Amino acid sequence: MSAPYKATDRLCEIISQDHHLLQMMSRFGIPLGVGEKTVAQVCEDNHVDTPTFLAVANYMKLGAATAILDIEKVSVEALTAYLAQAHSYFLSFQLPAIRRKLLEAIDCSEQNEVAYLILKFYDEYMSEVRRHMQFENKRVFTYVKQLLSGRKPTDFCITQFADSHKDIDHKLQELKNIIIKYYAAPADGQLLHNVLFDIFVCEGDLRTHCALENDLFVPAVKLLEETLKETADNPSSQENARTGGMTGAEALSEREVEVLRHVVRGLTNKETAEQLFISINTVLTHRKNISRKLNIHSVAGLTIYAIAQGIVHLDEVKMH
Ligand SMILES: [Fe+2]
Ligand SMILES: [Fe+2]
């Protein structure tokens, strides 16, 4: 099995082996001209969250089972921005470009009923995709923004979205088959072959997009929901968070400080869970919350923070 991409990989090398990364880069707002820089350096230069970039890249390369291992490191904010950018790409660029090519490739005169119906089918499909993505932009992403601001609306949850979320690539597959089977194109119909090729690519791209929403986005938002629920259920930790006396954007709760102390001493999530009598999932939620609050994602960085804040002493820390 091939290895997952790492923050220290040179971006130019991995792009040249995997063209999907090009599309990903544009959706993360990363321009070309990456020189010899590593993934982490390029992400940092472009203010992109490196763990989120890697989670998406590894999802494309190795599938959900590998990508989900790092789910607690994923920034919901960065992943949502990535998905929103993909929506703009489909709605404003890829689907209209296919329509323009279809118009050129098929005989749209009134006499050709099959061509007319193909175009009508495509237009209805585009409207369906637009509705699907606008719902996500307006309802789901707005909900996520509220979660990120620390508020948990009571009239919606991400499971509702997951339960009703449908694939949107199957109609494109149907259209492709209709053209292949029933549209009598001239023998040298290069334009039609070309547009069919684009439809194949778009179909795969839409399939991956929806799968990414199911396999990465939904679990990442669920973790965020759990974190907020825990804070709401435990007002004392909220109080601690307010009065913890730490510097930085957001102070840690007492429980989070405990988890941090264990992590920087080199204990595994399982060992931390056992010592604190909590589940591994709760440890993961705390770790995600700690990293989000401090904006520090590596154990080395957390160790420096913990020493600087007097949470641990240098001699207690297992150096990484
Ligand atoms: Fe979407
Ligand atoms: Fe979707």
pLDDT band at 242 (very low <50, low <70, confident <90, very high): very low
Is residue 209 scored above 90 in pLDDT?
Answer: yes
Distance from residue 316's CA to the centre of ligand 2 (Å): 47
Task: Please check whether residues 93 and 211 belong to one and the same domain.
Answer: yes
Q: Does residue 31 lie within any of the structural domains?
A: yes
β-sheet bridge partners, residue 38: 10
Is residue 183 scored above 60 in pLDDT?
Answer: yes
Q: Does residue 3 lie within any of the structural domains?
A: no
Distance from residue 23's CA to the centre of ligand 1 (Å): 15
Across the range 245-274, mean pLDDT stands at 82
Last residue of a domain, one of 186, 208, 231: 231
Task: Please check whether residues 30 and 86 belong to one and the same domain.
Answer: no
**Residues 33-43 as b or e (16 or more Cβ within 10 Å = b):** ebeeebbbbbb
Quote the CA–CA distance of 261 and 303 in Å, as a whole number.
9
Distance from residue 126's CA to the centre of ligand 2 (Å): 14
Which residue range is the domain that position 254 belongs to? 239-316
Q: Does residue 275 lie within any of the structural domains?
A: yes
Distance from residue 4's CA to the centre of ligand 1 (Å): 24
- Which pLDDT belongs to residue 236? 54
pLDDT band at 247 (very low <50, low <70, confident <90, very high): very low
pLDDT band at 292 (very low <50, low <70, confident <90, very high): confident
* Pair of tokens at residue 268: 């595994």
- Left (φ > 0), alpha (ψ -120 to 50) or beta: where does 170 sit? alpha
Distance from residue 166's CA to the centre of ligand 2 (Å): 7
Task: Please check whether residues 63 and 84 belong to one and the same domain.
Answer: no
C-beta neighbour count of 299 within 10 angstroms = 16
Distance from residue 184's CA to the centre of ligand 1 (Å): 34
What confidence tens digit (pLDDT) does each residue in 110-164 have? 667 778 888 888 899 999 999 999 999 999 999 999 999 988 888 999 999 999 9
For 189-238, give the DSSP string: -HHHHHHHHHHHHHHHHHHHHHHHIIIIIHHHHHHHHHHHHHHHH-HHHH
Distance from residue 10's CA to the centre of ligand 2 (Å): 31
**Is the pTM higher than 0.75?**
no
Report in angstroms the alpha-carbon separations of 21 from 17, 28, 56, 262. 9, 10, 9, 36
Distance from residue 87's CA to the centre of ligand 1 (Å): 6
Distance from residue 122's CA to the centre of ligand 1 (Å): 19
Task: Please check whether residues 50 and 65 belong to one and the same domain.
Answer: yes
Report in angstroms the alpha-carbon separations of 102 from 14, 15, 48, 184. 34, 30, 36, 14
Is residue 77 scored above 90 in pLDDT?
Answer: yes
Distance from residue 31's CA to the centre of ligand 2 (Å): 25
Q: Which residues are near ligand 1, the ion (C-beta closer than 5 Å)?
A: 136
Mean pLDDT of all residues in the chain? 86
Is residue 2 scored above 50 in pLDDT?
Answer: yes
- Left (φ > 0), alpha (ψ -120 to 50) or beta: where does 4 sit? beta
Residue 83's nearest CA partner among 174, 215, 229 is 215
132: Cβ contacts below 8 Å, ≥ 6 apart: 166, 168
Task: Please check whether residues 86 and 187 belong to one and the same domain.
Answer: yes
Task: Please check whether residues 101 and 166 belong to one and the same domain.
Answer: yes
Quote the CA–CA distance of 2 and 113 in Å, as a whole number.
49
Ligand nearest to the CA of 87: 1
β-sheet bridge partners, residue 10: 38
Distance from residue 213's CA to the centre of ligand 2 (Å): 6
Task: Please check whether residues 207 and 280 belong to one and the same domain.
Answer: no
- Evaluate whether 317 touches 266 at the Cβ level (below 8 Å): yes
Distance from residue 46's CA to the centre of ligand 1 (Å): 23
Q: How many domains does the chain have?
A: 3
